[in-house]
Amino acid sequence: MNNLTDILERIQVLERELTEELSRKREEVHYTIEKKKVWFSEEVSLRHKKLAKRLSEYVYDSGFLIILTIPIIWAALIPALFLDLVVCVYQFICFPVYGIPRVKRGEYVVIDRQSLQYLNWLEKLNCVYCGYFNGLMSFVREVAARTEQFWCPIRHARAVKSVHSRYVHFFKYGDAEEYREGLEALRKKFDDVE
């Protein structure tokens, strides 16, 4: 195993540890999750309601210029919805043909912050937007990562700012022999995904 592969594998271990630690933090905030619904204790719910900011206060504190940006940020939802549709159709049709396990969209697009009682309705709407948009980008990235593993699993020569989940399995840049000898096996190497 080379040093780069070792580092990428350690990153994956750290990401799993981060997920576990975030799960442990639930206990500190006193909530449980049942059937994808979040439940707070009665005491916490009452405290949250008291901390909700009135809409007028929220808008005033945000500043007038921010209000002018609302049409721009919401316009991005139109191509996002189209991207969501295209990627879902692509994955539904192509992944079975390639033998790639499908990405579970619901594990990436998580919309749950609108239930927080310390948010006003505009904050909740913003949270729905951000949860959808960022979850969609993560979902699309994973679909693209699995596609890249099938079609062109070669690491880049230049440094990449952020690597996706499948990059650890890719062949070294310039190693033609390893690529030719291992491509077919790597195209089927998805045993680490659920």
Q: What is the pLDDT of residues 153-167, one digit of tens each?
A: 999 999 889 989 999
Terminal-residue alpha carbon distance, the chain: 24
Phi, psi (deg, nearest 5) at residue 4: -65, -45
Give the number of residues written for the chain.
194
Report which of 103, 81, 83 is spatially closest to residue 92, judged by C-alpha positions. Answer: 103
| Helix, strand, coil percentages in the chain from 3-state DSSP, rounded to 5 | 65, 5, 30
Other Cβ atoms closer than 10 A to 19: 9
Q: What is the pLDDT of residues 104-156, one digit of tens each?
A: 999 999 998 888 889 999 999 999 999 999 999 999 999 999 999 999 999 99
Residue for token digits 């929220």? 58
What is the Cβ-side half-sphere exposure of residue 177, based on CA atoms within 13 angstroms? 0
| Mean pLDDT, range 69-90, rounded to an integer | 96
Report which of 142, 157, 149 is spatially closest to residue 183, judged by C-alpha positions. Answer: 149
Report how far residue 95's alpha carbon sits from residue 102's, in angstroms, rounded to the nearest whole number: 6
Residue for token digits 């994956």? 12
DSSP assignment, residue 161? Answer: S
Given a contact cutoff of 8 angstroms between Cβ atoms, the answer to whether 163 and 9 are in contact is no
**Residue 52: predicted pLDDT:** 84
159: left (phi over 0), alpha (psi -120 to 50) or beta: beta
Percent of the chain with pLDDT over 70: 97
104 membership: H or E segment, kind and range: none
pLDDT above 70 (res 26): no
pLDDT above 60 (res 81): yes
Residue 1: which pLDDT band, with cuts at 50, 70 and 90? low
